[in-house]
Amino acid sequence: MKNAQKEALRKRIRALAFDQGFEEVGFSLSRYLEEEAPRLEDWLNQGYHGKMGYMENWFDLRLDPSKLVEGAKSVITFIQNYSPSELQRGDSYKIARYAYGEDYHFVIKRKLKTIAKEIEEDIGEFTWRAFVDSGPVLDRVWAKNSGLGWIGKNSLLLNKDRGSYFFIGHLITDLELGQDPVVSDHCGTCTACIDACPTDAIVEPYKVDGSKCISYFTIELKESIPNEFKGNYQDWIFGCDICQEVCPWISKSKPHDESSFEPKGDWIGYTKEDWENLSEQDFSSQFKKAALMRAGFSGVKKNIEFLKG
């Protein structure tokens, strides 16, 4: 592909992305992530994935996009803001901001597929696959490689203009689209996220013990939550935003304008008593298509009982 054609296609992809509501788009050369292999292996060997056994699967696929898409030449990364305009009442049980609206896996993947199909209408068929935090893809690494930010000490992607309240999606493709410049680390000497984590899950800068994370306990862990963590939850019943709330770069966040991420029903005003008295029928009605369905009614109730106990 000639440079002029490549640049025109990149411009077209960006335009389509903005039409779909994405804030930024970045392009990276598809390659084997040699530098990430020892980090991932060490993380797994330390047991930081806890009971998330699926993290042990597809080790090579997580490092090599060409094993996911034959002939892969580019990884296109998209980010979309999910910072809400209105938060839950402060004296209630808490849900992570990303889970306020419709499950992002479905919303973002629909957008990515629309973009890919629009490109096919322009240039003809090409090879692509869409990923949204569900396949064996190192999302934050590719976002960093695509120039959309740096990975912070809390292990999340940080962006100087947008903070970290955004979803990440990718199109892995056989199109040649070049490489965007990467962004340097801007965490400096700040340790706000490390200091604020109530379960000491950030064991050192840039390394998180997932088996100690509140998000892990409230979403991934199907067993009883260890009693040693009682009193450290700060009323979170699905996910956790603490390490983002204290990050100085969050001051750059602005409310999203994506209707799919708006809360459905009236749960945002629930008191603790409302949550405790919530029926399974009401739960299904309030959170249909929402991320809370990952934990389910029984999982959310389990988390509430742990906080009450």
Known catalytic residues are 133
Residue type, 89: R
256 touches 82 (CB < 8 A): yes
Residue 11 gets the label, from left (phi > 0), alpha (psi -120 to 50) or beta, of alpha
143 touches 79 (CB < 8 A): yes
Alpha-carbon span 107 to 115, nearest angstrom: 13
**Residue listed under structure tokens 């499950």:** 103
Burial 65-94 (b: 16+ CB within 10 A, else e): beebbeebbbbbbbbbbbbbeeebeeebbb
Alpha-carbon span 185 to 158, nearest angstrom: 9
Alpha-carbon span 188 to 171, nearest angstrom: 31
